[in-house]
Structures are given as C-alpha cells and as structure tokens.
Amino acid sequence: EPEVTQTPSHQVTQMGQEVILRCVPISNHLYFYWYRQILGQKVEFLVSFYNNEISEKSEIFDDQFSVERPDGSNFTLKIRSTKLEDSAMYFCASSDGGVGYEQYFGPGTRLTVT
C-alpha cells in the first residue's frame, strides 16, 4: 500500500539554525500539507500546497517557514531560524483531491530545538 514517507525521523538542532524537513508524498497525489503537533497538544495545520503554490496557510506559517517541491517526488518544509518553540512533531500529508478526499499522513519528523 502506498504511503507518505518522511526523513529524518528525528532532528536535533540548535536555536537559530536552519532545518529542512523532507517528505515524499504518495506518487499520484496532488495536494500536499504540513501539520505540526507540540507534545501534549493538538495537531495544527501549517500550510497546503497545490499546483506548485501555497493554497492556504495558518497564522503559524510566518516568514521563517517556507515550502518547496523541488522535483516530482519531494516536498520540503524549511524553517529558517529555529526557535525553542518550534520543537514539535511535524507531519506531512498528501491527498489525491481537495475537499472530501482523505489526507494520508506520514510518520512524522520529531524536531528538537536546543
């Protein structure tokens, strides 16, 4: 069964450093997402991406965040200058349609900022 994959599974970085989280969505999917979950809190939407551009973003997704689909398979989330409060589990998701289509989540990257 096709699945979303994410690398690395755990990333430790120092405050102020840039990190890139990588995702390989399911191959025929068209919609891509990033969500995050701070430990003990709810899953929060960050950004959606369709047709090579951001289609929706939350207040969390400020100028320090960016997304890219550099080739036909990868989807990345870059955090330019990490803060302690960026420590969270970051989930990538993809779907093959818009509203009403199931979003399939990857296993997540645990980001720890020290």
Partner 1 sequence: RKEVEQDPGPFNVPEGATVAFNCTYSNSASQSFFWYRQDCRKEPKLLMSVYSSGNEDGRFTAQLNRASQYISLLIRDSKLSDSATYLCVVISNQAGTALIFGKGTTLSVSS
- Selected range binding partner 1 among 16-24, 50-58, 67-75, 79-87, rule: CB under 8 A: 50-58
Which phi and psi (to 5°) does residue 82 adopt? Answer: -70, 150
DSSP string, 84-99: GGG-EEEEEEEESSST
Segment lying near partner 1 (by CB under 8 A), choices 15-23, 67-75, 78-86, 89-97: 89-97
Q: How many other CB atoms sit within 10 Å of the CB of residue 45?
A: 16
Query: What mask, x for binding partner 1 by CB under 8 A, covers residues 55 to 74?
Result: xx-x----------------
By three-state DSSP, how is residue 45 classified?
Answer: strand
Distance in angstroms (rounded) separating the CA atoms of residues 75 and 52: 10
**According to the binding rule CB under 8 A, does residue 102 interact with partner 1?**
yes
| Residues at the interface with partner 1 (CB under 8 A) | 31, 33, 35, 41-45, 48, 55-56, 58, 89, 91, 95, 98-103, 105-108
